[in-house]
Amino acid sequence: MGRLFHALLVGLIGAGIVHVAVLMLVPVYSDRNAWSRISGYGAPYRFHLIEAEKDGRGGAHDPLFQEAACRFDLTGGPVRITAAGDNVPFWSVSIYNRSAENLYSLNDRTSTDGKLDLVIANPVQMLNLKKDLPETAAQSILIEEDMDEGIVLIRGFTPDESWQPPVRDFLSKAGCALLPM
């Protein structure tokens, strides 16, 4: 009887471990992950406005925020993200890797003059940047991340309908480009 109980216990624990492992691997092997949804909006190195009805989140989309996303690949060089945020009540920016893990976040309260200006680079590129920083990136926030591909998401706060046009304009004019070295 003791052996039967032991075998059942080991089987249940093993099944639990397998189920947890499968759940953890679903985002990696899923075809409808954040990377593929953002890829469907268009080409990399360009911000694309994310519409609630397009992104499939439906009710999960916060109606007080408008969002834009840009895919990038650091194998081609560092990426510079810019936007003039002085005409919106609040904005935030997040950097995600290809697996949609949030690596870095900041908002207009932590930026210089409320403007968005940051450079994302891998460790080797960051060493080169620190040796010879281009003049165009002298005031940029430098972010070092050990990754190849990623997503930048900008969110603009829209407290009421009158803020819709300025926030949309802010998001559509945001820049996402390779930093010339």
- pLDDT of the chain, 181 residues: tens digit per residue: 888 888 888 999 999 999 998 888 776 666 667 788 888 888 999 999 998 654 454 445 788 999 999 999 999 999 999 998 778 899 999 999 988 899 999 998 887 677 899 999 999 999 999 898 888 888 889 999 999 999 999 999 999 999 999 999 999 999 999 998 7
CA–CA–CA angle 50, 56, 100 (5° rounding)? 70
Q: What is the pLDDT of residue 55?
A: 45
Coil, strand, or helix at residue 146? coil
pTM of the predicted model, to two decimals? 0.78
According to CATH, what is the number of the domain 34-178? 2.60.40.1610
Q: What is the pLDDT of residue 37?
A: 84
Distances in whole angstroms, Cα of residue 102 to Cα of each of 46, 94, 165, 169: 20, 7, 28, 25
The tally of CA atoms less than 13 A away on the side-chain side of residue 86 is 4
CA atoms of 70 and 31, how far apart (whole Å): 19
